[in-house]
């Protein structure tokens, strides 16, 4: 495959994942949590890098594309861990324990809880959440970016 085709696969893959996330949000009615939104930005960066990389030769842009893909993969893996309870997530989108709270403290926690929590799986396929699928796809895309970067120019 040519460099241009590989760039289109890598950048197009990120664009497709970003469009898929927006479709889940606006068509599927699944609003994103804070960590979901955080995973979108590197995909946007990778798509933009791809557009520039089509016109500019060299290895720097593909390496930046790989960094963007690895960044969203890392966010996806972190989000997966939060969803599965492997570690605590950010306090802005997860809830704390409710044991030992007074009724007033419980009410305060309920009223200040985020509308979309990061520690709940909103959708899954084959036992994997969207965050998990994003991480897997992003790792594949990072591999494509790295392949572009290490290939000898023809």
DSSP states along 80-91: HHHHHTSS---T
First to last CA, the chain: 11
Do 69 and 145 form a contact (C-beta atoms < 8 A)?
Answer: yes
Residue 98, pLDDT above cutoff 60: no
Q: What is the pLDDT of residue 154?
A: 62
Which pLDDT band, with edges at 50, 70 and 90, does 104 fall under? confident
pTM score of the predicted model: 0.79
Domains and CATH numbers, the chain: 3-92+102-150 (1.20.1550)
Residue 109, pLDDT above cutoff 80: no
Do 26 and 62 form a contact (C-beta atoms < 8 A)?
Answer: no
Could you read off the pLDDT of 12-36 as tens digits, one per residue? 999 999 999 999 989 988 888 888 8
Do 50 and 98 form a contact (C-beta atoms < 8 A)?
Answer: no
Q: What does the DSSP 8-state code read for residue 94?
A: S
Phi, psi torsion values for 75, nearest 5 degrees:
-60, -40
CA distance 16 to 13: 5
């Amino acid at each position: 495959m040519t460099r241009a085709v590989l760039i289109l696969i890598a950048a197009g893959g990120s664009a497709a994942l970003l469009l898929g996330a927006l479709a889940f949000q606006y068509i599927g009615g699944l609003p994103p949590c804070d960590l979901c939104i955080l995973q979108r930005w590197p995909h946007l960066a990778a798509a933009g890098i791809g557009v520039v990389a089509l016109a500019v030769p060299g290895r720097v842009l593909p390496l930046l594309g790989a960094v963007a893909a690895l960044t969203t993969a890392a966010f996806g893996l972190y989000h997966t861990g939060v969803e599965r309870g492997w570690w605590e997530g950010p306090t802005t989108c997860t809830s704390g324990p409710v044991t030992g709270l007074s009724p007033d403290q419980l009410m305060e926690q309920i009223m200040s809880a985020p509308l979309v929590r990061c520690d709940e799986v909103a959708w899954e396929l084959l036992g994997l959440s969207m965050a998990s699928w994003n991480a897997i796809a992003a790792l594949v895309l990072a591999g494509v970016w790295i392949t572009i970067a290490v290939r000898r120019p023809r």
